Structure 1
Amino acid sequence: MFLEIVTPEAILFSSEVVSIYVPGVNGEFEMLNNHAPVVSILKEGTIKIESENFKVDDKFASKFSKTADGKISFSINSGTLELNDNKAIILAD
């Protein structure tokens, strides 16, 4: 599936991913390829991304870190998620 993480400053990440784990206001959840369409408000927490070829622009690399299980993490204060047709867009604050 394709993931794009957008902030007021820039598009931080735009690439194919294996899975996305997000902090929804009604609980944390994970999305995999062919997941049902979803729209959700996100609360403060960590987005975790599993990607085979994680690449991010050098000027945004400091915003991402790697977890012990090899996933990429990105902290947010709040946000919105839309997933439809294997394309996820996260508007993060």
Structure 2
Amino acid sequence: MASSDKAYSIEIVTPRKQFFAGEVTSVLAPGQDGLFQVLKNHAPLLAALKGGQVKLELAGGGNQNFTIADGFFEVSDNKAILLAEDIS
């Protein structure tokens, strides 16, 4: 199965800017109750995030890692959005 068959779209934003928009195959994020991973076809989810590391596995290959402050993550119908107070 090609990586594009496993990909879904995500947008990552702060109150000041759009940080990332594109296709990923996996997101690992720090939820209030612990780390969680989201893959394609995940059940609808709304989760509160705490500050920590987020890891994206990009659909085109490679990874992107960054640190967020508190926020929220929502996924539904293979579209996700990560809202964070700040990203570094």
Identify the TM-score tier after normalising by the shorter chain. Answer: 0.7 to 0.9
TM-score, normalised relative to structure 2: 0.83
Pairing 1:90–2:82 present: yes
Identity over the aligned pairs, expressed in percent?
A: 45
| Inter-partner Cα distance in structure 2 for 1:36 and 1:46 | 23
Residue 42 of structure 1 aligns with which residue?
49
- Measured against aligned partners, the alpha-carbon deviations of 1:40-59 in whole angstroms (never above 9, x if no partner) come to 000010110000337xxxxx
The Cα shift of 1:77 comes to: 1.2
| Inter-partner Cα distance in structure 2 for 1:74 and 1:40 | 18
- Measured against aligned partners, the alpha-carbon deviations of 1:4-25 in whole angstroms (never above 9, x if no partner) come to 0010111110001010000000
Query: What are the within-5 Å matches in structure 2 for residues 1-93 of structure 1?
Result: 1-53=8-60, 70-93=62-85
| Inter-partner Cα distance in structure 1 for 2:45 and 2:64 | 22
Structure 1 runs, 4 residues or longer, greater than 6 Å off: none
RMSD: 1.2
TM-score, normalised relative to structure 1: 0.79
Unpaired runs of 5+ residues, structure 2, are: 1-7
| Inter-partner Cα distance in structure 2 for 1:90 and 1:23 | 11
| Inter-partner Cα distance in structure 1 for 2:27 and 2:72 | 14
Q: Per the alignment, in what secondary structure is the counterpart of residue 20 of structure 1?
A: strand
In terms of fraction of residues, the more strand-rich structure is 2
- State the number of aligned residues: 78
